[in-house]
A and B are shown apart, each in its own frame.
Chain A
Amino acid sequence: MVAQIKMPALSPTMTEGKLSKWLIKKSSKVVSGDIIAEIETDKATMEIEAVDDGLLYEIFVEEGTDNVAVGSTLALIKEDNDTEDQLNSFLEKNNIKNLSEKDKKIVQEINSKTNKEIHDTNVDKKFMNVKENIPKDERIKISPLAKRIALKNNINFSSLLGTGPHGRIVKKDIEDLIKSNKNITSFDSHHKSSSDKSYRDITHSSMRKTIADRLVKSATEAPHFFLSVDCDISEINKIRENVNKGDTNISINDFIIKASALALKKFPKANCSWNNDFIRYYNSYDISVAVAVEDGLITPIVKNAISKGIEEISIEVKLLASKAKKGELSPEEYSGGNFTVSNLGMFGIKNFNAIINPPQSMILAVGKAEPRAVVSNNEITISNLMTVTLSCDHRAVDGALGAQWLNKFKDFIENPSLMLL
């Protein structure tokens, strides 16, 4: 088994520490009990002990690195029988990239820069660590009894939010779901036989409840303001004409996802979420995409959209959307995300104001792209325009920042070649 060395929490309140020293070099042998590194907190210096035998295969955090979040992967230990393939698949699965020395430097530079930029705004530095991809918990929390009942009744519980401790799905949740499903069917049959009722009541599905809870929270707690801008998509359409041949079918939305991620990178202060005591700034560029499904919507995530090509994004969005419609998304595919794109252009909507998807701080509402008459140089010309409206949580993102972000976004959309840089 490949073992990760993670930043330990040396006290209950510790959220980050400094990796002051590696005591074992890369590629050296490690025996369980060996002291492999020294960690410094504001209170003390402590040692990290190896708990597995093996080889110190890879170091991800260089010594002397400050503000390393608790739980982030510091190094990998390869055990004797681990093959190269196993290691690679482990790295891939856990989103830990095998960075070259050069890449590491870039990542560190970016991080130290962002660190400096936001240092004085008193943020939770937990998410400013050197490695941005902490493996996510893939486990669905469900009691064995609830699981048994769900499987017996062919209920997909992967997207259900439980009412037990820490969102654990318990018997009652599944039973409620069965009951509400029954209500719908029994009502339908009832409705056919007697049409004396002028209305029908359908018990909330758990998705409906989640949508209601989250959006009420967002609409009531987050002070929304809205910024609209028209984007000329002629250049994007030119590219699409050239590439959309054969099986390839890249949509405007795919460009919008990429442009959103890039604009977030240009304005990292906009990539954040409001919390009671702090604003959390993200180092990831995970873009949620609103997908309408039967009786609701869900926002699967294009993770790390910044480093993906447009075609890669396009394929991923199609896959996520089809999974979403079938109810097959796994929780990690829809939990998290830094920014949301909601596109109603296909319904002919010109523009609209979206409610922010909490705890995110911004959402982009995309309208229909269409030829419109535009006055330029005192002449009326025809342009292919698309109106986008950015909703911002004013607690975390101010007007000027939102406007700057939106202008940058417009810039990328109107000059898609910039996205190549």
Chain B
Amino acid sequence: MVKQIQRFHREPIINVIIGLKMTNLKDVIIIGGGPGGYVSAIRASQLGLNVTLIENKELGGICLNWGCIPTKSLLKVSEFKKNLDKFKDFGFNISGEITFDIEKIVKRSRDASKQLSSGVKFLLKKNKVEVIKGFASISSIAEFIEINITKDNGNNEKLETKNLVIATGAIPKSLPGIDNESDRIWTAKEAMIPKKLPKSLTIIGSGAIGIEFASFYNDMGSKVTVIEAEKNIMPNEDEEISELAKSIFTKKGIKFFNNAQLQTIDLTKNNAISKFKIDNKIHEIVSENVLVAIGVKGNISNLGIEKFSIKTENGHIVTNKKMETNVKNIYAIGDVTSPPWLAHKASHEGVIVAEIMAGHQKNHELKKEVIPGCTYSNPQIASIGLTEKQAKQKDIKLKIGKFPFLANGKSITIGDTEGIVKTIFNKETGELIGAHLIGSDVTELINSLSVAKTLETTEIELMKTVFAHPTLSETLHESVLSAYDKAIHI
């Protein structure tokens, strides 16, 4: 016995080393390098986990490459253009024609994406996250989860992991029965890289994406028509804000059709004809391009979702509050899961899931009512919490405050007086139930109220807060005061 032990005593160690190399076991594999995936990867690595991130396209995902970031660059351009009209009001004498180059405008937005994407690459490297470019799918689930990666050159690589995070995001929903391959029919991606400015554009859907492009193209000079199936534009927003937005955008030249059921989009040589029905009456709009912005669906094709029976609902993966799917050690975060489909929600979930995988006991779940939503049109729209209608449906007794930017000193100095701040409180507890803003820079203002809501302040703390003067943020204060009939400047 003794001899045997002596003889074999080195072998098992070698086996273990070889075994490790062969299986290449990871603590965490994250599929998708968007704002959910890359943030989760960094946090997991910071917590000492061995992390591999697999991305099929560009790091930063839709948000950074084909969403939030490049559109903000475009919208800055249209804001400039809008302000050109105001130059005279500010005392400038401008003579001669001011023109723009759409190619340069698009290039600038692409450069912003590129810069941030390489920033993500750097951050991942700095945090020792292994990044593999390729298409990942689940190939088997046993003690560990095996992932197959198909690289660009067609080669396959297999990796094993203890935990898997699916952060593959979402893709635009397409309209059935319509030639989506045509150059005339755009998704958000094509709308971000126009070769020329269309003379006219029809936008199907008036959510955040539809409205941002409507605002951009309208400000740049296209004739924009928006077709919305619901009663109000921006159906997720407070009705009062939706109505105000519609009147402001209408004044700026955008044409809206609500309660409209799209029938067909017929393509001619130079145009697309959108046919839709309102109250059984057929309408037709002819435009150079049509942007389909009717929402997104989870990006789950060819991942192995069906094969391994990962539960989905309406094309999105179902998770619990800990981001766990129905399959052990497989998590999902961000747009591939339930709404709201927002980058900042994905990132927060990414951090939470990393901490769960690292064994943190205390985990402060993400409350959906404290996630703000922003639309970066001109004017901007931002909101948090419940709308007035939703609050009333819950039988909550309300205190509602409103304050217009027209009565705010800073707004007058900068010449942006459109819009209001609406705050909704629970009459009994003083809880800030919701806030709904439309106006200049409200996507920045909303964050003060996010802090207030997260900290569970009541109207009293908000009233006691000293807001600097003169700032746009004073409208938040006045809106709260107005809810309790204490507003000063109106």
Contacts and interface: CB of A to CB of B under 8 A. Distances in A.
Interface in B419-445: 428-431
Interface string A148-162: 110010000000000
A146 interface: yes
Given A164-B364, A165-B364, A143 B428 contact: no
B456 interface: yes
A144 interface: yes
Given A164-B364, A165-B364, A143 B455 contact: yes
Contact of B457 (A144, A149, A165): A144
Contacts of B460: 144
A164 B429 CA distance: 19
Interface string A123-165: 0000000000000000000011110110010000000000011
A170 interface: yes
Contacts of B455: 143-144
Nearest to A145: B456
A174 to B, nearest CB: 10
Given A152-B428, A171-B431, A144 B364 contact: no
B338 interface: no
B364 A171 contact: no
B458 interface: yes
B428 A144 contact: no
Nearest to B364: A165
B359 to A, nearest CB: 14
Contact of A152 (B429, B456, B457): B429
Interface in B194-216: none
B242 to A, nearest CB: 28
Interface in B325-373: 364
B456 A143 contact: yes
Contacts of A152: 428-429
A149 B364 contact: no
B130 interface: no
A210 to B, nearest CB: 15
Contacts of A171: 431, 456
A376 to B, nearest CB: 54
B337 to A, nearest CB: 22
Interface in B454-474: 455-458, 460-461
A287 B457 CA distance: 38
B364 A145 contact: no
Nearest to B461: A144
Contacts of B461: 144
Nearest to B428: A152
Q: Is the interface of B mostly helix, strand, loop or mixed?
A: loop
Nearest to B367: A172
B440 to A, nearest CB: 30
B103 to A, nearest CB: 49
A145 B458 contact: yes
Nearest to B462: A144
A145 B428 contact: no
A148 B431 CA distance: 9
A148 B364 contact: no
B428 A170 contact: no
Nearest to A165: B364
Contacts of B458: 144-145, 148
A170 B429 contact: no
Name which of A144, A152, A165, A171 has the most chain B CB atoms within 10 A of its CB: A144
Interface in A203-235: none
Contacts of A145: 429-431, 456-458
Contacts of B456: 143-146, 170-171
A148 B364 CA distance: 22
A152 B429 CA distance: 8
Contacts of A148: 429-430, 458
A171 B430 CA distance: 12
Contacts of B430: 144-145, 148
Contacts of B431: 145, 171
Contacts of B428: 152
B407 to A, nearest CB: 28
A152 B428 CA distance: 9
Contacts of A146: 456
Nearest to A164: B364
Interface in A335-384: none
A296 B124 CA distance: 50
A164 B456 CA distance: 11
Nearest to B431: A145
A366 to B, nearest CB: 34
Interface in A157-191: 164-165, 170-171
Contacts of A164: 364
B5 to A, nearest CB: 33
A278 to B, nearest CB: 21
Interface in B147-172: none
A14 to B, nearest CB: 23
A345 to B, nearest CB: 38
A68 to B, nearest CB: 32
A171 B457 CA distance: 10
Interface string A90-131: 000000000000000000000000000000000000000000
Nearest to A146: B456
Nearest to A144: B458
Interface string B11-49: 000000000000000000000000000000000000000
B419 to A, nearest CB: 28
A190 to B, nearest CB: 24
Interface in B363-396: 364
A171 B429 CA distance: 10
A145 B430 CA distance: 7
A152 B458 CA distance: 14
A364 B364 CA distance: 37
A154 to B, nearest CB: 14
B383 to A, nearest CB: 20
Interface of B: 364, 428-431, 455-458, 460-461
Given A145-B456, A148-B430, A165-B364, 14 more contacts: A143-B455, A144-B456, A144-B458, A144-B460, A144-B461, A145-B429, A145-B431, A145-B457, A145-B458, A146-B456, A148-B429, A149-B429, A152-B429, A171-B431
9 contacts: A144-B430, A144-B461, A145-B430, A145-B431, A145-B456, A145-B457, A146-B456, A148-B430, A164-B364
**CB-CB nearest 10 A-B residue pairs:** A143-B456, A145-B456, A144-B458, A145-B431, A149-B429, A144-B457, A148-B429, A145-B458, A144-B461, A171-B456
